[in-house]
Structure 1
Amino acid sequence: MSGIYRSEAGGLLVRERYLANLALWPVDNDQWRIPTPEGETFVIASGQVTAPPLVLLHGSGSNSAEWASRIPELARHFRVYAIDMIGEPGLSAPSRPDMNSDAYALWLDAVLDHLELARVPIMAFSLGSWLAVDYATRRPERVDRLSLFCPTGIGRQKRGFLLAAILLNSLGRWGKRKTVTGMLGPGVPAMEAAEAEAFLDQVLLVSRHYRYRSEELPVFGDVTLRRLTMPVQVFAGERDVLFDAVGTARRIAATVPHATVRLLPGVGHVVPPRPEAELAFLAGAAPGGVA
């Protein structure tokens, strides 16, 4: 575990916080540890067993607790499988295979095979969206549709904010909180006060103890993106300081013309839930266009 953490003790603190959050999971659920080529993978399943499936993939430096506020509504319509990504601060293996290889696709193959899911819709955020796109371009027959939030690997990765973050982080807890809110954007202040405070504390805890991925994320080429023949829905925050949301929207519009792309003004890297649009798409509403 210590490989992705600054210390074994720090990793235990992050794990204990996650376990406490799981104890507050808002609906009845099943929890599994699934064997894969990259080690065990932790999955939380919510909703009726007979409901259509939906797979959730969280973002970088996070875990499936990221989806807790969305779960009650999603679980009314789907059998929801929230998967802790490998190499992230959840309960899955710390493995981080080469992102330019097919290792992540083979990993997700193993998870879906174990769950006996032949074809699924995927909802994903940030790094999870990268993984979802990688999988969908390699295994299009297994992905029914993609609902992506602030996807990475499409638009340019920004570096300017990192310089401001280094300065702010030198100013103690206040500066670190300013870094987090600046990085994640107006979506955090839009939360209820208690939820926003808990969210910020979680991000600060992880940032103290977790080693974020340092490598550049592979960028998908146009030929690869054109393999996304399934329905695609994208939400991106126009004020995202981490990735070029406008560039992301343009590339998707050019390479996946059937996709629905929603570029949200005044929104950063955290996109507030839009349950009506999300559910309509996941339930099979026809996509199309840039909004």
Structure 2
Amino acid sequence: MPEVTGFSAAYDAVLAKWPAATAHLDVPTPFGATHVHCYGPADAPPVLLLPGGGATATGWYGVAAELGRTHRVHAADLIGDPGRSVPGGRPLRTVEDLSGWLDALYDGLGLESAALCGHSYGAWIALHHALRSPDRVARLVLLDPTNAFAGFGARYLLRALPMLLRPTPERNRAFLAWETGGAPLDAEWRELDARAAEFPTARPVTGPRPKPDELRRLAPPTLLLLAEHSRAHDVRKVAARAQAVVPHLETETVPGATHHTLPPATPPETLRRIAAFLKSWRGTGLEAHRA
């Protein structure tokens, strides 16, 4: 795997915030080895967490600690993004490839189905997977999803452009400070976010938003959580468009949150809301890897 000293140290610092009983797996898939952090009772209902683009699975530590009381949590680094997943074999090029990667990850973890929770780009991936493999997604949680129901805000894209064209830790820090409005954030997580600019990454898989007719057929019960002060998009537009077409949808606002304060600074009441939503499904997690 690519090794960047500053990034690796920052990754370990955030990973240390996970519960002590957390296990770590490298799950082979046709697209490479996926690094997964696992926590919670091995026989509990499983939930798979996907981070946003440019982020890592480590940022789910608070979510994992709460959900791990009643669920077996699996948090995966995205292949090709900063983290400890290692690309190999077939390249990820299409939305169908991303869904195939998730199917292979489910298989590698020994899961017939699982609840699926994603943030930002990870929520976009999760939504597309739920549309393509509905039998494998028991519950769907979308945490401030981008390009799922509405486009990015123009000001957000303009601010992000320098960071996207030539990422540096300084540019990452400036963008995070702007989007979060200077909200207090965990210092180690802020450092990891900045150091992600030093990590060699692949071009992300992009694609269109799902069409309304597709969204009307979305099968899993879905919880849409929108950051109150998100600068990534107009959350009112996102909510209105989702509510107009998605069946079995519950929508709530995460108070005080911005797009990039999530998931590490998810408020306790929102963590409890996610846990309650997932508890309504009592599937089992029969894992091939008893980690």
Specify which of 21, 26, 36 is matched with residue 28 of structure 1.
Answer: 21
- Shift of the alpha carbon at 1:77? 0.9
Match of 2:45, as an amino acid? P
What residue in structure 1 maps to residue 223 of structure 2? 233
What residue in structure 1 maps to residue 194 of structure 2? 204
Give the count of matched residue pairs: 270
What residue in structure 2 maps to residue 39 of structure 1? 32
3-state SS in 1 of match to 2:158: helix
Aligned Cα root-mean-square deviation (Å): 2.9
Q: How far, CA to CA, are the matches of 2:211 and 2:114 in structure 1?
A: 24
Query: Structure 1 pair 12/203, CA: closer, same or farther in 2 (3 Å)?
Result: same
- Shift of the alpha carbon at 1:267? 3.2
Unaligned runs of 5+ in 2: 282-291
2:52 is equivalent to residue 59 of structure 1: yes
TM-score if structure 2 supplies the norm length?
0.81
Which deviates more, 257-266 or 124-133? Answer: 257-266
* Contact map agreement 2:26 2:36 (CA 8 A) in 1: yes
What residue in structure 2 maps to residue 181 of structure 1? 177
2:93 is equivalent to residue 98 of structure 1: yes
What residue in structure 1 maps to residue 276 of structure 2? 280
Specify which of 116, 120, 132 is matched with residue 122 of structure 1.
Answer: 116
Query: Structure 1 pair 176/232, CA: closer, same or farther in 2 (3 Å)?
Result: closer
2:68 is equivalent to residue 75 of structure 1: yes
Query: Structure 1 pair 118/98, CA: closer, same or farther in 2 (3 Å)?
Result: same
Match of 2:189, as an amino acid? F
- Percent of aligned pairs with the same amino acid: 30
Q: How far, CA to CA, are the matches of 2:170 and 2:109 in structure 1?
A: 44
What residue in structure 2 maps to residue 242 of structure 1? 232
Q: How far, CA to CA, are the matches of 2:51 and 2:163 in structure 1?
A: 26
Q: What does the per-residue CA deviation read over 1:106-161, in whole Å, with 9 as the maximum and x for residues that have no partner?
A: 11111111211111111211111011111100000111011110112221122323
- Shift of the alpha carbon at 1:214? 6.7
- Shift of the alpha carbon at 1:199? 2.3
* Contact map agreement 1:246 1:263 (CA 8 A) in 2: no
* Contact map agreement 2:229 2:256 (CA 8 A) in 1: yes
Query: Structure 1 pair 26/264, CA: closer, same or farther in 2 (3 Å)?
Result: closer
What residue in structure 2 maps to residue 148 of structure 1? 142
Q: How far, CA to CA, are the matches of 1:107 and 1:24 in structure 2?
A: 27
Which deviates more, 232-241 or 36-45? Answer: 232-241
Query: Structure 1 pair 55/264, CA: closer, same or farther in 2 (3 Å)?
Result: closer
2:188 is equivalent to residue 158 of structure 1: no
3-state SS in 1 of match to 2:44: coil
- Shift of the alpha carbon at 1:35? 1.0
Query: Structure 1 pair 63/239, CA: closer, same or farther in 2 (3 Å)?
Result: same
Q: What does the per-residue CA deviation read over 1:148-206, in whole Å, with 9 as the maximum and x for residues that have no partner?
A: 10112221122323434568999x988763421222x25x7254xxx2x2222221111
Q: What does the per-residue CA deviation read over 1:36-66, in whole Å, with 9 as the maximum and x for residues that have no partner?
A: 0101111111111121111111111111111
Q: How far, CA to CA, are the matches of 2:279 and 2:146 in structure 1?
A: 24
Unaligned runs of 5+ in 1: 3-8, 286-291
